[in-house]
Chains A and B, each alone.
Chain A
Amino acid sequence: MTTWTVATALLSHWRRRPLQFGALLSGLALATALWSGVQAINAEARASYTRAAVVLDQNGLANLVSSNGSSVPQSAFVRLRRAGWNVSPVVEGDYRFGTTRLRVIGIEPLTMPAEAQTIDLGNAGDLLSFISPPGTLVVSAGTAEKIRGQTDLALRVSDRMLDGAAFVDIGLAQRLLRRDGELSRIVVAENQRSGLEPLEKLVPTLSVREPNAETDVEHLTESFHLNLTAFGLLAFAVGLFIVYSTIGLAFEQRRPTFRTLRCLGVSLRVLAVLLLAELVLFALAAGAVGVAIGYLVASLLLPGVAATLEGLYGASVPGTLSLRPEWWVSGFAIAVAGTLVSSAQSLLRLTRVPLLAAAQPQTWGRSWQAGRRFQVLAAAALLALSGALLLWAEGLEAGFGVLGCLLLGASLLLPTVLSGFLTVMQRTSSRALVTWFWADARQQLPGLSLALMALLLALAANVGVGTMVSSFRLTFVGWLDQRLAAELYVAARNEGEADRLRTWLATKVESVLPISSVDAEIRGQPMQIFGVVDDPTYRKHWPLIVGLPDVWDRVASGQGVLVNEQFWRRDRLRIGDQLDLASDWKSTVVGVYSDYGNPKGQVIAGINALTSRYPQVSRLRYGLRIQPDQVADLRSRLSDEFGLPPDNVVDQAALKEQSRRIFDRTFLVTGALNIFTLGVAALAMFSSLLTLSEMRLPQLAPVWAMGITRRDLALLELLRTLVLWLVTFIAALPLGLALAWVLLAVVNVEAFGWRLPMHIFPYEWVRLGLVVLAAAVVSVFIPLRRLAGLAPSDLLKVFANER
């Protein structure tokens, strides 16, 4: 009963300050929402990788793979079977059916262990059609829809298959992928007879990949998920600023209540436990709202994320979200943890302040100001650490470390910079009202600095990520113009049609550029080798980063190859390095080209060099050089002559448009998270201004009494907010540019393997500035209305002797 009475007294604070209560709950809910939303997206994507790995890669079982990353010889499988090992061969690679590229997985159903049997071939008829010519593709319903009419192979739909992949008999897969006698890996069953000769003796060149090891897709997408997590953390931190500032003020405002309760015999322990319980209760309530909003945010963003993962990495993630209990739990946990972290200082202070210490809401700001020297030192240390990481550390985590230290260091420095600016302005102004304006702005700083720091983070993230995306887009569009030089792209449905097409086209276009490639493993990495003809198009347009002067002559003569930027950077290749492209094919690196949007390494060789090693290479696709005004005519003639479906004849403009659409879709998620973070920062500002407006009367009343109207005071209040926002916005520009530079020069290189030039987009800053201006006006609107609408009697209370 006593406890309940004390709790009622404590909770009455919030009843009398509903707006403060709303700010606390909304700050916490929003912080939780963005964090748990991002976690939900990551969890869904990772679950889908695992599902794909289990279904498509038999990842639940151990696999034997080549130790040096090359192919596994089929003879190794034969040797293992003969020795009594229960193993099954797999060969896999990408294959294009018309315009649709599928991941083809060749399996041997008779030896595949039961626990890895993804598709049901129990029926004798099914098994027979699967292993007999011409063969069967087992695909998902969606994939079947896409490739119907593009292949002569029989199609069988399986509910367990994932989009973008097909199971086929291993013999057919080797034929399609031109990998006769080669395997990608060998699946090892769990149950083996005892007394078998050890694997390392039988197949010493192979190594065992343990079950559930990280998959290629997981590895590739790691940077993307790390990116999302970083954004989620940033938004969470921004949200926590609101919570920290609201709890801090509420504790100071309630100090008289604490003092009275202590004087009435409530022990410090009971008081602390009750306050802790109150905070946990609020955290759980706000956490529930936050998780619900997070689910909504994740549902809205997931289709975009799925598209991004598909576009960037070829990873298939469903566009719908499932409710996972662990995600709910983590949402509540982060809400409670965030609240406890934000309130730790206030709770600690409660235990240290003497019983009879006077309540001083103003000291809340002043004590913070007293710690500014420590902040400056911490900022300097963080900025130095950021520089050190930039200079001496490597890897994606180090890149994010640079970003984190830079952002946190700069935000800690902001209050000192603002204070310095306001002091200079105050000292250089001579008019009384102007002097007071700057001095008063400086006095508001402790109360607003957390919100301004949050704003700085959100704005810098906007400027930085915006600059990175726009630089990327500008470079990408220019790169597309170079890369997609052919006016028309055509794909035959089979090799016979391709032969006829080549003959027919020979007299009708300026040049025919075959697009032929094979999958290979070079230096232990899955890669594509493309073959190109010697044509002026490449010499004029191909986007080379570095290369020998006679690079194209060397490629055409088979003396050299080009490598893409990501392969070049990842393997620290140099011009003149030798590459083992196949068992009997070595070549020299003679140039490097940019290849944005491709996660894998790529090599370009002369077409003759390629076809001499891979005579069966697919020759279905071609780029055609013609006069632009002849494109439409040639399209219709191709359709008339060969009956090619519209998807098989694509003009340059359509392809570029499609690429740009994919690009824009890729960064949709980033844009949305940017807006959310800015929204949270605006809310932080609103909440701080609202809180401060409750303490403003004693500061404003004397000025009003000396003859400044309420209207003028309200206008000055608006102007003060705008000035603080503007200075923070200006401070965010160099920080944002530094952020963009780190993203472009460090994080992107580590994550994707390519480095982009940085461009500046002042127009985007103006646009962001206008958004910021609107947000500033909105954030100050309610406090301002409150001030302008103050009755003289409210102001007079400040002067009343019996307050």
Chain B
Amino acid sequence: MPEFITNPNLALLLFCAAFAAPLLTTVIGTWRPALTGIVAIVTTAACLAIVGISYVAELSSINVPWSETLGLRFHLELDGLAQMYALLATGIGLLVVIYASRYIPLHLEHHHRGLDEQPRFFGFLLLFMAAMVGLVMAGDAILQFVFWDLTAIASFYLIGFDRDREDSRTSALMALLVTGISAVLVLIGVLMLRSELGTYSIPEMITLESGGTNVGIALGLIGIGALAKSAQVPFHFWLPNAMTAPTPVSAYLHSAAMVAAGVFMIGRYYPMIASFDWLLDAMLVIGFLSIAVGGVISLTRDTLKQILAWSTISQYGYVVVMFGLGNEYGLTGATFYVLAHALVKSALFLTAGAVTEATGATEMSETGGLARRMPVLALGSGLAAAGLIALPLTIGFFKDELFFAAAWERGPAFGALAVLSAALTFAYVSRFWIGVFLGPVRIEPRSISWFLTGPVLVLGVSTVIFGLWTAPVIGIAESAATLPANGPAQIEIAYHLDARHENVMAIATWALGILLVVSERWWSPAARAVASLGDRVGPERLYNRTLKGLEYVSDWIHRVEVRDLRSRVATILAPAGILVGLAVIFTPNSDAFEIGNFDRGDLPVAMMLLVTALAAIAVSIPRDHLRIVITVSCVGFSLSVIYSLLGAPDVALVAVLVETMLGVFFICMLLLMPRSILRFETREPSERFGIRRDIVLAVITGATAFFVVWGVLSRPSPSTELIDRYEELTPLAHGRDVVTVILADFRGFDTMGEITVIALVMLGVMSLIRKGRLR
């Protein structure tokens, strides 16, 4: 068997499979909409299988140059960190796709939309997965940035999938703006790193000595982009708004993928970040702030998905804090935390979707008592919730154990903060699960498909399985943590029945958490006050204000510009005239503005110039449109005479032809204008203000153009070398006419651009006059 079958390059294979998935799904889905879900499931499963195989195969990578002069390489490497995030993207992705294959048809049906929109949804969902897979494998910073932006674009279409709803569109735009603008900071950071360290290759950067301030600033910029993507304070507000997306999108993007991309980025650059203490301290502050803000606001929300969204902000705060703590427990803890959190949080999101599907309720106060009616769902999400609040025998217990260990190592104060944070988590997760599944039954649920409850059960049960059989998860997290740690990383976790710090802190957390749950009546007014304070002065308000202000400015400019044709011309001429005029004034010009000699041979040219000038003045006299057109043609024709007098027959020929054609075009345009308007414009005198403004503008632009041309012509031409060279080369190019050879050969690329513009204008004319039909 050939080598690429027995020993395939898994990195390349995964990349191709991941990008084939959205393509296949869209193409086959458009052909047969009923097959969309199945194709999506099969292709995602294939990607997951490749990731799985990569754990038993050796490290695979591909590294080829694709733009050598710019130093760009197509470098993918399926290392431990990439494997873990790819596993999340494809594994959670598979469950979400299975769930969505049943959910999306129902969703479309509820909104009275056709099933033929399915390929659009799955196409973008899988494109997101592919971008995520590419992002985590990319070893070249620019390549990484491309995938980084691709995730933002795909998420825009996913969040805005219900495009008929306004809140959905504004949320999609908000997510795109917040993550897209911060992505520009990432690009700036990457370019700064390149100029400091001389490479785009991330593994190479890490091996270099890098302690300069500029490197720190560059990493800070990348960090801001990463934190915005992970919905950390103060960029967090896009995430709760993004909950307008269909539930599978929330479960995928907002638990396992999009927000995880941010902390992935921190992990990728961590060996460099670690040498800057101020970056680590900033991460600690932002992380704890996010935990507090997310946790407190989550406690006040009533909408199921909002509770989970705010809780995600808080949970990723944990990860950022652990990166900020930066000790051995912190690094391994951070990667482990992402893994555990993705597992349980996506289960909770899917639960929210299933509950809404069964009862029609989106608010927690409308539901309740579902444990007896939907025991399977209650079990699955109960196990997941237990994982999130770190009860023993679940994988979640260890994520908190590592968190506590990392915090305690820093000092008792951090330990106390950690316990408070975990207690907050305990409170809002319990509130969610108790509110949905216990208490009186408010709405009788319909029975729902196994496709909706199955993934939740799978995720919930695996929370417990991996809590008991920890070896595989630890292996994954360890191999992932070697990259941020830039060396071997080891996690030693087990259940200990003694009074070590971690255990004491865990027990304190549960006690505090239970206290918080039972005392809801006392603290809820305070929490509500915090939430409403956030609404009033939070960053979301700043975002809305900025957007409104920009819209206002843009509207104002638009109104000024398009008031009438004259103001439109003025907005082009006035800035051009003023700017060029300033340039003329500030250019050193000792030898410029000379008046040259005038001999008798120049007489014909001078006379024709006079004719041209007179024709140009004459344009302003007639009021009848046809006469204006003919006078304008006069200017052009007399100019072409000047070209031929100066010995440029090619230019003269083109000028005559173009002038004739323009005349025909102008007359045709007049044919299309309503007669009444033409007649009105001919008779009605313009306003006085308009005339004065037009004269000022004409003088400014005319004078500027005059001085520029004068200045250029009085300088001796820099060199005729280029022209000589062209003339010399023309016979070699099998030509005798230099102008044509320049157009079609030497400067052919310019001509290509120009004729492409003609073709585009053609399309424009056709869409304006014939609504786009070409024949």
Specify whether A and B are partners: no
- Which chain A residues have a beta carbon within 8 Å of chain B's beta carbons? none
- Which chain B residues have a beta carbon within 8 Å of chain A's beta carbons? none
